[in-house]
Amino acid sequence: MAIIRLSRKAYFHNLDIIAQKVGAVSKIAVVLKDNAYGHGLLEMAKLSHEYGIKEAVVHNVNEANEIKEYFEKILVFAGHEYFVDEKLCYAINALSQIEKMPRGALVELKVDTGMHRNGVAMDEVEKALSQISEQGLVLKGVFTHNRSADTLSSEWFWQRKNFEKVKEKVLALQAEYGYEIPRFHSSNSAAAFRFKEFDEDLVRVGIAAYGCLEMDETLEQPDLQPVMTLTAQKIATRTLQQGEHVGYNATFRAEKEMVVSTYDVGYADGLIRAASNRYTTPDGEQLLGRISMDNSSFTGAKEELVIFENVNRYAEAAGTIGYEVLVGLHPEIKRVII
């Protein structure tokens, strides 16, 4: 069976780098949405708690409820269920959400500073603050999201200036609407490493914590380590003769006699079929033929094969990004902390 191994040492190493960059462990909110980017929601929640992380970010209430015991505060990005809970804080992504939330619910207002995906418009901030007050919600934070922080361009600076305008507006209005000063945050993983001196209240760190951050070469390259290793067990070994083929539609043809083995991992487990015939494992074994639903063929005869350590190398062969591969890994694959 396929196994996902999670390195405690690598995860803590990455969190050390992030904490040093932003100034304190208390400023880190670890993003655990979508099964912790495929690493395992409970596994990564436990490791984060062990390290001393107090806050998490999730996709919906179901995820939040699974990990509540490990954190003091959890920011819920999306969903349509809202409850008054001292640990849960809900992102407001549109004005229409506000009237659906129960009085006393904790909220954070997301403002669209240029991503044009979720969040109220910058010119809707005062209206949002008014409606939040009228609805009896408790405003705990104001945040935004960067669209190009991992790219060398002026956009990161442009969005920072937009968010500064948002901060000024909120601070000018917070007393009028009876709010305590909320926390402000805009930084995802990439944005955190764009600061010379980090000056926000919080960083929402996802892909960097898992050691898979990719930035333009001209930007800072933190020494992060991949947390996940995906391995698979051998099913069978055979010797191919010159001219014989492997897998569906005979897309691989042996140019010489060679040893080939099948392993118990396929696209049902989350491997992306587009990587067929295009990928080489960290140990130098070639992926042969088309990936099947439940197994794949590689050169060699190892009993256990490392499929990938750095997911970005596999994603490159599949013509996608590491995020897509990670979140597509089947949740029933056994995850082991080492």
CA-to-CA distance for 98 and 120, rounded, in angstroms? 11
| Amino acid identity, position 175 | A
CA-to-CA distance for 58 and 335, rounded, in angstroms? 19
Alpha helices (runs of H) in the chain, residue ranges in sequence order: 8-22, 33-37, 41-51, 61-67, 95-98, 125-135, 155-173, 189-192, 311-318, 322-328
CA-to-CA distance for 319 and 297, rounded, in angstroms? 20
Strands 203-205 and 252-253: unpaired
The residue annotated as part of the active site, out of 127, 161, 165, 248, is: 248
The residue annotated as part of the active site, out of 27, 33, 110, 302, is: 33
Asked if 334 contacts 3 with a C-beta cutoff of 8 angstroms, the reply is: yes
Total residue count of the chain as it appears in this document: 338
Secondary-structure percent of the chain, ordered helix, strand, coil, rounded to 5? 30, 25, 45
Tokens coding 242: 């010159």
How far is residue 45 CA from its own chain's centroid? 13
248 is catalytic: yes
CA-to-CA distance for 125 and 111, rounded, in angstroms? 7
User: What count of other Cβ atoms lies within 10 Å of the Cβ of residue 91?
Assistant: 19
Residues 6 or more apart whose CB falls under 8 angstroms from that of 123 comprise none
11 is catalytic: no
Strands 228-240 and 258-263: antiparallel
Q: Which one-letter DSSP state was computed for residue 116? A: -
Asked if 190 contacts 145 with a C-beta cutoff of 8 angstroms, the reply is: no
Q: Which of 209, 284, 181 is nearest to 8 (CA)?
A: 209
Q: Which sequence positions are flagged as catalytic?
A: 33, 248
